[in-house]
Amino acid sequence: MNRKIKILLADDHEVMRSALRTLLDSREGLAVVGEAGNGRELLEQVEKGAPDVVVMDINMPELNGIEATRQLLSTHPHIRVLGLSIHIKGRMVSEMLNAGASGYVPKNCAASELLEAIQCVSAGKMYISPEVLEDFVETRKRTVSDENAFATLTEREREVLQLLAEGYPTKEVAAKLGLGVPTVHTHRQHLMQKLNARSIVDLVRYAIREGIVSSDA
């Protein structure tokens, strides 16, 4: 009955992770079991820390929080993911929840709300901050019947898109994903066809617009 909720923090800002660790470790019943600076590191840390809840940022390098959530829950469906992001409007909230997150709170939320959200998702419930709920519902209404090109992309194509948009050359993308260079070229070609892009610049613009990478990536 006294078992602590094990939490893993995923955020590319070390200061943010440190502040969250200090806050959460000071609360009875909670224990931070690991940290990750990007989505790929998170997937590795999950095997070591065996968390109950992952507090997940969205904008992270190499593998963003939405993709990391999809991949994490495909192999560890029992883990609960709580989105914690500066994004409080637009499709990012919907995309995060569609990926399988059990909750979503803004980074400027009060400590009490974050703690409530962790307890809530840990208990198998959903928690969406009131600050983002109204816009989330409206966005859901607007996009539920829209044709979404992003939805046609495969998991690998989404990974390639993020790395290309972050400025990695083809050889480095291939190395990071364990693929051959010709395979990356093929994925890039498919991306350009599906997203109606004429150049890498168009892919970068698309990735920024969709929140796959931040504008300062």
pLDDT at 132: 82
Q: What is the mean pLDDT of residues 81-86?
A: 93
pLDDT at 87 over 90: no
pLDDT at 179: 92
Is residue 90 very low, low, confident or very high in pLDDT (cuts 50, 70, 90)? low
Q: What is the mean pLDDT of residues 7-31?
A: 95
**CA 65-86-169 angle, 5° bins:** 45
Q: What is the mean pLDDT of residues 143-164?
A: 77
CATH 1.10.10.10 domain locations along the chain: 149-209
Tell me what percent of the residues of the chain surpass a pLDDT of 70.
90
Query: Domain 149-209, what fold?
Result: Arc Repressor Mutant, subunit A (1.10.10)
CATH 3.40.50.2300 domain locations along the chain: 5-143
pLDDT digits (tens, 9 = 90+) for 114-134: 999 999 999 999 999 988 887
Q: Which homologous superfamily is 5-143 in?
A: Response regulator (3.40.50.2300)
pLDDT at 146: 44
Sign of the alpha-carbon torsion through 154, 160, 161, 162 = positive
**Coil, helix or strand at residue 111:** helix
The larger pLDDT score, comparing residue 23 to residue 199, is at: 23
Q: What is the mean pLDDT of residues 38-58?
A: 93
Is residue 88 very low, low, confident or very high in pLDDT (cuts 50, 70, 90)? confident
pLDDT at 104: 94
pLDDT at 216: 60
For residue 42, the Cα-to-chain-centroid distance in whole angstroms is 10
Is residue 208 very low, low, confident or very high in pLDDT (cuts 50, 70, 90)? confident
End-to-end CA distance of the chain: 44
DSSP letters spanning 101-148: -SEEEETTS-HHHHHHHHHHHHTT--EE-HHHHHHHHHHHHHHTTS--
pLDDT at 70 over 60: yes
Q: What is the mean pLDDT of residues 59-86?
A: 93
CA gap 176, 1 in Å, rounded: 42
pLDDT at 133: 80
CA gap 203, 164 in Å, rounded: 8
pLDDT at 6: 97
**Coil, helix or strand at residue 136:** helix
Structural contact between residues 11 and 60, judged by C-beta atoms closer than 8 angstroms = yes
Q: What integer best gives the mean pLDDT of the chain?
A: 88
pLDDT at 144: 47
